Structure 1
Amino acid sequence: MSFIKDYIEQQTLNRRNLLLLSAYGLCGAAAATALRPTGARAVTPSPKIAWSYRDRTNPYWNAIVSGGNAFVRSLGLPESALINLINGGSSEKSLADIQSLLARYGSSLALAADPNDMPNCRPVVEAVSRAGAYVSTIWNKTDDLHPWDFGDNYVSHMTWSDIGPSEQTARVLFDAMGGKGGVVHLGGIASNNPAIERLAGFRNALKAYPNIQLLAVQAADWDTQKANQVMSGFLTRYGDAIKGVHCASDTMAYGVIEALRAEGIEDMPVVSYDGNPQAVELVTKGKILATVFTNPYWAGGITASLAYYAATGAFKPSAEPHEHREFYGPTTLVTTKDAQDFKAKYIDTNPQYDWKNFWSMTRGQIQYGKTI
């Protein structure tokens, strides 16, 4: 359990260092300028590969980038060949860093990206398309933005169907509470697709448990320190009325657990999401009752692979069916009953993946307006 306190203390310093790292290699780039539209599809034998993401101090994003590194190694390249664009949760920085990279490399860029929030996805995609480069995105985009509207340059978008799995974690929590008592929910960034869907799944579960009282819902922005502060506030406000905690991510659960420990509370039922190694370890010990694994290692590698092989001309995105361009990634519920076996298979070692088998683990085309 000491890792939680260490994790919280190191976040501020690590985030500052990683933000500096995100600018490494970009200092000599020209300032971002308006990029001209391109005509015919350009093929680049050896495109530059980049991953744009929030924060590598976060175990989830560390796993994403580890998958990206594994893909790069599969090409016979050193891990340093992967350009890391770390935005620290800023959509403005995300777009500015991508524009700077496009100003340097133009159409010779294969980009994997989480745009940080839904509205930011469109300007990122438009900038990449104007440059004639290639981008595959995950998690965050608006429902009206589709890869097939941008020819080959917007290669793909992957998200996860979080409503059903989040409802499952809520049911695990409510059952542990004996089907009654007060519950609080800590959510992610309000404009993030996963935050919206995980809250929706939580609310769906509430409908089947009339004796569970929802005390509060508050965003903690996927951040451990903010979650710690939010949970401390909940404890001050609601005290013993809180009988369970539903967290939209593992990293926020760490802050919740530390806040509970500070009040001498060791047995509060808590559930979370993402299946990070530390969270799975806590599930094996019963400190977290359930989490949901989204296989970020595979997602990080396959997203980079899709952008790269589209850039090289190995496949033509516009010739693929829609289910190969917008799709769900895999999810697995991990509970105290199966956490040990799961840990041995997915956490203690990373399975070997065929990075050219792009859609082997996808779960069908994204469906809008449906709760699956």
Structure 2
Amino acid sequence: MSFIKDFIEKETLNRRNFLLASAFGITGAAAASIVGAGRAHAAGAIEDPTIAWSYRDRTNPYWNSIVSGGESFVESLGKPKSALVHLINEGSSEKSLADVKALLGKTDGKLALAIDANDSPNARPVVEAVVAKGAFVSTIWNKTDDLHPWDFGDNYVSHMSWSDIGPAEQTATILLKAMGGKGAIVGLGGIASNNPAIERRTGLDNALKNFPDVKLLDYQAADWDTQKANSIMSSYLTRFGDEITGVFCANDTMAYGVLEALRAEGLAGQIPVVAYDGNAQAVDLILAGELLATVSTNPHWGGGITAALAYYAATGAFKPSDEPHEHREFNGPTVLITKADAEEFKKKYIDATPTYDWKDFWGPSAGPITY
């Protein structure tokens, strides 16, 4: 398990035109057209757009899988992996937006961008910057509920998220049942403004309603970070000691830090832990009996298809505004992984990389996003 130790050691967009448009009762695509007037490329006008992925950090196994999917898509076009431009925001929304603006300037808007905006409020300025330059963008995970692709014509191509409440409730239920329906748990969540962090906490809360004899001792944001999770879990063990009979983690990388803290106290495998993301290390930990369950969101497909949607819209292969709303805001697939099916999952998704038709934009998706 040395990889866990290694893991641990290892200008704002001017919105004046939008505000003016709102003052005159103009919203959505009309407002977008004011900002991008004279700049937007017609669908199909970009012959060979730059393809970019903006994300948090490739040292994170989840994001590595996302970007690997993006690279697979780029290779399907007969291009080398190096043709994919990487915009690494390091968890900073300010850097995310600045990097996007810089690339928009460098490419003069001839850009197909796939992005997780890092937090929900940052999605709007990113989209507005892209639209103003006539580039094309597809987002994943984080956006506010009032931001919709169809309000920006074709340039905001799509948004994909994952419906995390149900799967998180499933993993939490597995945890609480493993505890015999009684005892006390601690929780570690993601960045507070992230949609998945909010939904996964809701899933835990839903599960707890069915187990009145289980107490939630504390729940803290570890910001998806292994080292921060390790520190928080160590403090939990100091504060609560033997009271802790289970741990809920909102993603796998935080679970790695939790397990390292438990190992330091000789408690690994004795206190059940659940997580989320379905990373290779997490699946190995399930097989080893140190992790109870996780959930895969098929990040390889998600990363590839998000880039594909932006690219094919930019080149005019399809017109996003001709598509129904469920093709512009949709959920990605989820797979619950426990010890009963971890070996099968490992063979199919980890030991081998499934091949995908990157023009089958919505095949594995799981229906429209509902609010």
> What are the superposed Cα offsets for residues 57-97 of structure 1, whole Å, 9 maximum, x if unpaired?
00000000000000000000001100000000000000000
Question: Are 2:339 and 1:333 aligned?
Answer: no
**TM-score of the aligned structures, taking structure 2 as reference length:** 0.92
Which structure 2 residue ranges, 5 or more long, are not aligned? 15-34
> What are the superposed Cα offsets for residues 191-243 of structure 1, whole Å, 9 maximum, x if unpaired?
00000000000000000011111100100000000000110111111110000
> What are the superposed Cα offsets for residues 256-290 of structure 1, whole Å, 9 maximum, x if unpaired?
00011111212210000000010011111111100
In 2: Cα distance, 1:87 partner to 1:188 partner: 16
Closer, same or farther: CA 324–233 of 1 in aligned 2, 3 Å? same
Question: Are 2:263 and 1:282 aligned?
Answer: no
Cα RMSD (Å): 1.3
Q: Is the 8 A contact 1:33 1:103 kept in 2?
A: no
Q: How far 1:178 moved relative to its partner?
A: 1.0
Q: How far 1:103 moved relative to its partner?
A: 0.7
Q: How far 1:32 moved relative to its partner?
A: 9.4
Give the stretch that moved more between structures: 193-202 or 277-286.
277-286
**TM-score of the aligned structures, taking structure 1 as reference length:** 0.92
Q: Is the 8 A contact 2:276 2:295 kept in 1?
A: yes
Q: How far 1:107 moved relative to its partner?
A: 2.4
In 2: Cα distance, 1:365 partner to 1:175 partner: 31
Output the amino acid matched with 1:346.
Y
In 2: Cα distance, 1:94 partner to 1:199 partner: 25
Aligned to 2:365: 362
In 2: Cα distance, 1:290 partner to 1:314 partner: 40
In 1: Cα distance, 2:241 partner to 2:65 partner: 36
Output the amino acid matched with 1:287.
E
> What are the superposed Cα offsets for residues 6-49 of structure 1, whole Å, 9 maximum, x if unpaired?
11111xxxxxxxxxxxxxxxxxxxx9986854356252111000
SS of the residue 1:191 aligns to: coil
In 2: Cα distance, 1:87 partner to 1:343 partner: 30
Question: Are 2:356 and 1:350 aligned?
Answer: no
Q: Is the 8 A contact 1:32 1:100 kept in 2?
A: no
Aligned to 1:214: 216
SS of the residue 2:138 aligns to: strand
Question: Are 2:182 and 1:144 aligned?
Answer: no
Aligned to 1:304: 307
SS of the residue 1:333 aligns to: strand
Aligned to 1:49: 51
In 1: Cα distance, 2:159 partner to 2:237 partner: 39
Output the amino acid matched with 1:46.
D
Q: Is the 8 A contact 1:330 1:363 kept in 2?
A: yes
Instruction: Select 1:273's aligned residue among 276, 279, 295.
Output: 276
In 2: Cα distance, 1:346 partner to 1:213 partner: 36
Output the amino acid matched with 2:6.
D
Aligned to 2:7: 7
Closer, same or farther: CA 95–39 of 1 in aligned 2, 3 Å? closer
SS of the residue 1:70 aligns to: helix
Q: For 1:1-372, list aligned pairs within 5 A.
A: 1-10=1-10, 37=37, 38-39=39-40, 41-42=42-43, 43-266=45-268, 267-368=270-371
Q: Is the 8 A contact 1:292 1:332 kept in 2?
A: yes
Q: Is the 8 A contact 2:41 2:135 kept in 1?
A: no
In 2: Cα distance, 1:293 partner to 1:213 partner: 27
> What are the superposed Cα offsets for residues 268-321 of structure 1, whole Å, 9 maximum, x if unpaired?
100000000100111111111000000000000000000000000000000100
Output the amino acid matched with 1:336.
K
Q: Is the 8 A contact 1:108 1:133 kept in 2?
A: yes
How many equivalent residue pairs?
A: 348
SS of the residue 1:112 aligns to: strand
SS of the residue 1:120 aligns to: helix
> What are the superposed Cα offsets for residues 136-179 of structure 1, whole Å, 9 maximum, x if unpaired?
00000000000000000000000000000000000110111111
SS of the residue 2:240 aligns to: helix
Q: Is the 8 A contact 2:135 2:314 kept in 1?
A: yes
Q: Is the 8 A contact 2:40 2:135 kept in 1?
A: no
In 2: Cα distance, 1:149 partner to 1:191 partner: 23
In 2: Cα distance, 1:294 partner to 1:76 partner: 27
In 1: Cα distance, 2:191 partner to 2:145 partner: 17
Q: Is the 8 A contact 2:115 2:138 kept in 1?
A: yes
Runs of 4+ in 1 over 6 A off after TM superposition: 31-35
Output the amino acid matched with 1:45.
E
SS of the residue 2:360 aligns to: coil
Which structure 1 residue ranges, 5 or more long, are not aligned? 11-30
Q: How far 1:106 moved relative to its partner?
A: 2.3
Q: Is the 8 A contact 2:130 2:155 kept in 1?
A: yes
In 2: Cα distance, 1:182 partner to 1:361 partner: 37
In 1: Cα distance, 2:118 partner to 2:250 partner: 16
